[in-house]
Structure 1
Amino acid sequence: MLTIHAADEIRHDWDGAALKDGAVVVEGDRITAVGARADLLARFPGARVRNWPGVLGPARVHEHALPDAPTPRERVHAVLKSGATAVLDRHTDSPELRAAAARNDVLVLPHAPRPHLTETTRADLAVFDEAGECIATVCAGRLVHRRR
């Protein structure tokens, strides 16, 4: 399903300039387009639209030990709630934790790359409010966290 994630601002990466009133088009687990909301709404008229308050950008890589929780699944979910869709290999020290990450499409990486939003890359997105709190996380094209 084609989905447009639109926000007050879009950042291709967290260090660059923001695009006001932007959007990201996601089809399956890939980014199809990034640009101005109005342009993408006109270009993809049948897409489902999710409007988010705040700033939308690439999901983060969780670079520290995973949060404590009673189960590996809950530890991975805590990472997703933080706006991250990847963890570092050195912090996934058990087969159960690796399995929980794999079941949730969370990437296990040897190092932290600089995430960015570009066409054809995996659709890993996060939306943050003005206080830096995660509003929503999209992992491999699926909405996996939404703050109520």
Structure 2
Amino acid sequence: MLTIHAAALLLPGGGRASVPGGAVAVRDAVVAAFGPYEEVAAAHPGARVRRWPGVLTPGLVQRDAVRLLEEWYFPDPREADALGTEPLTGGALDALGPEETWRAGSVRRGLHRMLRHGTTAVAAGPGAPPALLTAVRRSGLAVLGASAAPSGRATADGPRLDPLAGAGAVAEATAAPLAAGGRADLAAFDAPDEAALLAAGAVSCVATIAGGRLVYRGR
């Protein structure tokens, strides 16, 4: 299936200039083409078109994924009255009871939170738990190797769910720039430009496409 994802502004990465009125054509799981919408649409007649508000970027990479999934508890919505909706960590985990009773559900919900933040890949070193990586892959996220291991940016404040937190440019938080024939990982954000996106953070995500699949849609 061929789908064109279009937005007011495309940030392709790789040192390329932003593309007002940009679009990415996706065939199955790979990028078929990208550029101005008119050119992409003309080259791919009959494609389904999805239009997103704001900025379209390559998918983001979560460099703190292992710590987030192992050190945080992501509450079930049914627990909101008792535990709230924000992740719990540190001593708050002691009140949850035996880890084996809540770990799997927390991991699933944590991965969904990552998808809601435009994440399409996670960085994991060789010591990452195999079961955790299996859950990551099942969610549709790609697993990057040790070369993309966590940076030192979060050592003072702990891991961060928002891949854009502390980034000076969106390209610093993307897994890879767009490339024809490359894996179709995209994220759309309700922000007018890159500066506004960095200020708002990845919480402004309205859609995440991982391997060509729409894995999160906020509207």
- Other-structure match for 1:41: 41
Please tell me whether residue 97 in structure 1 is matched to residue 99 in structure 2. Answer: no
Distance 1:91 1:125, change over 3 A: farther
More helix by share: 2
Q: Distance in 1 between matches of 2:24 and 2:54?
A: 14
* TM-score, normalised via structure 2 length: 0.62
Deviations 1:74-103 (A, max 9, x none): 221111111111111149843332121111
Aligned length: 148
Q: Distance in 2 between matches of 1:87 and 1:134?
A: 17
* TM-score, normalised via structure 1 length: 0.89
Q: Distance in 1 between matches of 2:49 and 2:126?
A: 35
Q: Secondary structure at the match of 2:45?
A: coil
Distance 1:17 1:135, change over 3 A: same
1:134 corresponds, among 198, 202, 205, to: 205
Q: What one-letter code is carried by the residue in structure 2 that aligns with 1:120?
A: G
Deviations 1:28-79 (A, max 9, x none): 1100000110111122111110000011011011011335324322221111
- Other-structure match for 1:118: 179
Q: Distance in 1 between matches of 2:116 and 2:175?
A: 20
Q: Which protein has the larger Cα radius of gyration, Structure 1 or Structure 2?
A: 2
Query: Could you tell me whether the CA contact under 8 Å between 2:6 and 2:50 is conserved in 1?
Result: yes
- Other-structure match for 1:18: 18
Distance 1:92 1:7, change over 3 A: farther
2:110 corresponds, among 68, 75, 78, to: 75
- Using the TM superposition, name which of 90-99 and 14-23 deviates more: 90-99
Q: What one-letter code is carried by the residue in structure 1 that aligns with 2:184?
A: A
Q: Could you list the runs of 5+ residues in structure 1 that have no partner in the other structure?
A: none
Q: What one-letter code is carried by the residue in structure 2 that aligns with 1:127?
A: A
- Other-structure match for 1:66: 68
Q: Name the Cα RMSD after superposition.
A: 2.1
